[in-house]
């Protein structure tokens, strides 16, 4: 292996834990992303003046009701995905880590997703699952980027590789059980991830993960987007309809357009 010491450390950590948490690689890109969110929130709620970004985001549940939450979230999602360069900025916060874990010829999800989870709200739950269970490629990773400090039940949980492997081997024995029953069986082994604003989480979406009711006093804001190697196998989510190549190299372009001369 010709990896640098830093690359080897990141790779080992990802394989052993199923994730890495690192400072964002581009703080200017993160600040730009957060500014776009604040502008969209101002427009959606008709705000002329408001608290500091941290206070506004953490306490958005005081301005938006639970019945209005999904419509509000969808409006913000449409907004961020219509902004030119948003995905490029998103990529920049994690680029060197992705190039170490995945490679430097990448495909990126066409749309960035958003989770807003109010304190005590059970309408925004993501039951325990692995994305591969529903047909996603095991070669994908998720870049999870918070806009606020996420901790405890304000964050997400992940089942580490070793117990996840045990679960996979015994999966047939659990057929017919609900996702809640499955979670209760593994709850003592999941790891709750603490990811602060200014940090980025990259995790293996083939490991069981999800969230629970947010029992903290603040609202969670986090984005997620999938990346994979352009030339690695695809699952149900195909290139062109879900993924887009973003860093295709010159030799690959030349090779893809090459044809042997005919005699």
DSSP for the chain, please give it. Answer: ----HHHHHHHHHHHHHSEEEEE-S-HHHHHHHHHHHHHHHHHHHT-SS---HHHHHHTGGGTS-HHHHHHHHHHHHHHHHTSTTHHHHHHHTTHHHHHHHT-SSEEEESS-EEEEE-TT--SS---SB-GGGGT--TT-EEEEEESS-B-GGGS-EE--HHHHHHHHHTGGGGTT--HHHHHHHHGGG-EEPPB-TTEEEEEETTS-EE-----SSS-EEEEEEEEEETTSPP-SS-BTTTEEE-S--HHHHHHHH--PPP-
pLDDT at residue 123 tops 90: no
Percent share of the chain, pLDDT over 90: 92
Percent share of the chain, pLDDT over 70: 100
pLDDT of residue 211: 97
Angle among Cα 204, 162, 7 to the nearest 5 degrees reads 50
Angle among Cα 140, 79, 222 to the nearest 5 degrees reads 45
**Cα(147)–Cα(150) distance, rounded to whole angstroms?**
9
Q: Pick from 211, 183, 191, 42: which is nearest to 117 by CA?
A: 211
CB atoms < 10 A from the CB of 97, how many? 23
pLDDT of residue 36: 98
**Cα(69)–Cα(247) distance, rounded to whole angstroms?**
36
Residue 204, strand partner residues: 141
Task: Categorize the per-residue pLDDT at 173 as very low, low, confident or very high, splitting at 50, 70 and 90.
Answer: confident
**Cα(220)–Cα(154) distance, rounded to whole angstroms?**
6
The rounded radius of gyration (Å) of the Cα atoms in the chain is 20
Residue recorded with tokens 């003046």: 49
pLDDT of residue 189: 97
Residue 227, both tokens: 């990346």
Task: Categorize the per-residue pLDDT at 48 as very low, low, confident or very high, splitting at 50, 70 and 90.
Answer: confident
Provide CATH code, domain 5-229: 2.60.120.620
Residue recorded with tokens 């695809």: 234
pLDDT of residue 81: 98
- Among the ranges given (163-177, 197-211, 224-238), the one the predictor scored with the smallest mean pLDDT: 163-177
For the chain, report the end-to-end CA distance as a whole number of angstroms. 42
pLDDT of residue 33: 99
pLDDT at residue 143 tops 90: yes
pLDDT of residue 66: 96
pLDDT at residue 8 tops 80: yes
Residue 235, strand partner residues: none
pTM of the model: 0.95
pLDDT in tens, 80-111: 999 999 999 999 999 999 999 999 999 999 99
Q: Pick from 216, 98, 83: which is nearest to 156 by CA?
A: 216
Task: Categorize the per-residue pLDDT at 51 as very low, low, confident or very high, splitting at 50, 70 and 90.
Answer: confident
Residue 243, strand partner residues: 109, 239
pLDDT of residue 263: 81
């Amino acid at each position: 292996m010709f990896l640098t010491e830093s690359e080897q450390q990141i790779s080992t950590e990802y394989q052993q834990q199923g994730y890495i948490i690192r400072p964002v690689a581009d703080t200017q890109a993160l600040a730009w992303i957060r500014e776009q969110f604040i502008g969209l929130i101002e427009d959606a709620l008709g705000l002329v003046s408001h608290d500091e970004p941290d206070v506004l985001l953490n306490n958005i549940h005081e301005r938006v009701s639970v019945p209005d939450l999904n419509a509000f979230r969808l409006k913000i999602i449409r907004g961020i995905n219509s902004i030119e360069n948003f995905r490029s900025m998103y990529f920049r916060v994690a680029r060197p880590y992705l190039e170490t874990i995945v490679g430097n010829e990448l495909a990126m999800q066409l749309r960035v997703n958003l989770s807003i989870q109010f304190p005590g709200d059970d309408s925004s739950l993501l039951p325990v699952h692995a994305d591969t269970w529903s047909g996603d490629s095991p070669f994908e990773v998720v870049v999870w980027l918070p806009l606020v400090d996420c901790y405890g039940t304000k964050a997400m949980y992940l089942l580490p590789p070793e117990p996840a492997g045990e679960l996979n081997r015994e999966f047939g024995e659990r057929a017919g059980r609900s996702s809640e029953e499955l979670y209760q069986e593994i709850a003592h082994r999941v790891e709750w991830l603490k990811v602060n604003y200014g940090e980025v989480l990259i995790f293996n979406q083939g490991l069981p993960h999800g969230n629970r009711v947010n029992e903290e006093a603040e609202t969670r804001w986090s984005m997620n987007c999938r990346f994979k190697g352009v030339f690695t196998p695809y699952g149900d989510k195909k290139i062109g309809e879900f993924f887009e190549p973003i860093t295709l190299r010159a030799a690959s372009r030349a090779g893809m357009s090459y044809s042997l001369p005919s005699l």
